[in-house]
Amino acid sequence: MFLNQLSRRLVVSLALLASLLSLGGCHRNEHAASSVPVDTASSPAAQSCADHFVGGDAPQLTNPKLSVQTQQLCFKLFSVMDSGVTRTPLWSAEHLEAANLAAAQQLSRENSFHPEDRLPPGQRAELSDYARSGFDRGHMAPNGDMPDRESQHDSFSLANMVPQNGENNRHLWASIEGAVRKMAKREGDLYVVTGPAFLGSELQRVGNVLVPTHLYKLVWSPRQKAGAAWFVENSADAKPNVIPIPELERIIGINLLPALSEQEKERMLDLPEVRVNAGRRRATGD
72 forms beta bridges with 28, 81
- CATH number of the structural domain 2-29+48-280: 3.40.570.10
Q: Can you say how many angstroms the Cα of residue 165 is from the centroid of all Cα atoms in its chain?
A: 15
Q: What is the pLDDT of residue 283?
A: 42
Is 189:222 a contact under the CB 8 Å cutoff? Answer: yes
Residues 6+ apart with CB under 8 A from 121: none
| pTM assigned to the model | 0.85
Annotation marks residue 95 as catalytic: no
Q: Which residues of the chain have pLDDT under 70?
A: 1-43, 277-286
Q: Please report the pLDDT score of residue 111 as a whole number.
A: 86
N-to-C CA span, the chain: 34
**HSE (side-chain half, CA atoms, 13 Å) at 231:** 20
Cα-Cα-Cα-Cα dihedral of 115, 120, 124, 127, to 10°? Answer: 30
CB of 210 closer than 8 Å to CB of 204: yes
Identify whether the C-beta of residue 220 lies closer than 8 Å to the C-beta of residue 246.
no
- 221 strand-pairing partners: 226
Using CA atoms, how far apart are residues 95 and 53, in angstroms rounded to an integer?
7
User: Pairing relation of β-strands 27-28 and 70-74?
Assistant: parallel
pLDDT of residue 8: 52
Closest CA to 195 of 154, 246, 253, 150: 253
Boundaries of every domain in the chain: 2-29+48-280
Q: Please give the pLDDT value at position 226.
A: 98
Q: Which backbone phi and psi does 247 adopt, to 5 degrees?
A: -65, -40
DSSP letters along 18-73, please? HHHS-----EE-PPPPP-S---TTTPPPPPPGGGGSGGGPPPEE-SGGGGTTEEEE
The per-residue pLDDT for 24 is: 35
Residue 243 phi, psi (nearest 5)? -135, 160
Q: How far is CA 143 from CA 23, 62, 180, in A?
A: 32, 29, 13
What is the rounded distance in angstroms from the CA atom of residue 241 to the CA atom of residue 219? Answer: 14
Catalytic residue among 139, 153, 171, 214: 139
| Cα 6 from chain centre | 19
